[in-house]
């Protein structure tokens, strides 16, 4: 990997395309679920047991507290049923994350 393919984002070194994907995720503030727009839950605002403790980054997608996870990150909470979004029965898919 070339040096210019790495950037610092949220204080950690990562691939440029992944950092750009995280930046895009910050604009995708809602999920389209069953014909409705539902606000996504920010990292640190989750209310279920998979919340990462402390003030560090999400251990799965590197989102910082207060940011939105990568869509369907395994630590993201579903805004509808409040379970893990990637495995709940609400039929939320990555493409359902939209800019609103």
Q: Among 38, 18, 19, which Cα is nearest to 28's?
A: 38
**Dihedral angle over CA of 47, 72, 33, 97, nearest 10:** 110
Task: For residues 97 and 37, give the distance between their C-alpha atoms in angstroms, rounded to a whole number.
Answer: 9
pTM here is 0.89
What's the Cα-to-Cα distance from 37 to each of 34, 40, 56, 57, rounded to whole Å? 8, 9, 29, 27
Structural domain for 16, as ranges: 3-98
Residue 1 has pLDDT above 70, yes or no: no
Please tell me the predicted confidence (pLDDT) of residue 56: 86
Task: For residues 99 and 54, give the distance between their C-alpha atoms in angstroms, rounded to a whole number.
Answer: 29
Q: What's the domain count of the chain?
A: 1
Chain segment 27-70, per-residue pLDDT in tens: 999 999 998 999 999 999 999 877 767 778 998 999 999 999 99
């Amino acid at each position: 990997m070339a040096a210019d393919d790495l950037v610092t984002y949220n204080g950690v070194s990562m691939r440029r395309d992944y950092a750009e994907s995280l930046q895009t995720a910050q604009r995708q503030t809602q999920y389209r679920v069953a014909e409705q727009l539902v606000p996504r839950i920010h990292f640190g605002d989750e209310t279920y047991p998979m919340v990462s403790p402390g003030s560090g980054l999400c251990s799965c997608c590197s989102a910082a507290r207060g940011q939105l996870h990568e869509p369907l990150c395994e630590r993201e909470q579903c805004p509808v049923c409040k379970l893990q979004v990637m495995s709940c029965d609400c039929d939320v898919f990555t493409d359902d994350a939209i800019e609103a």
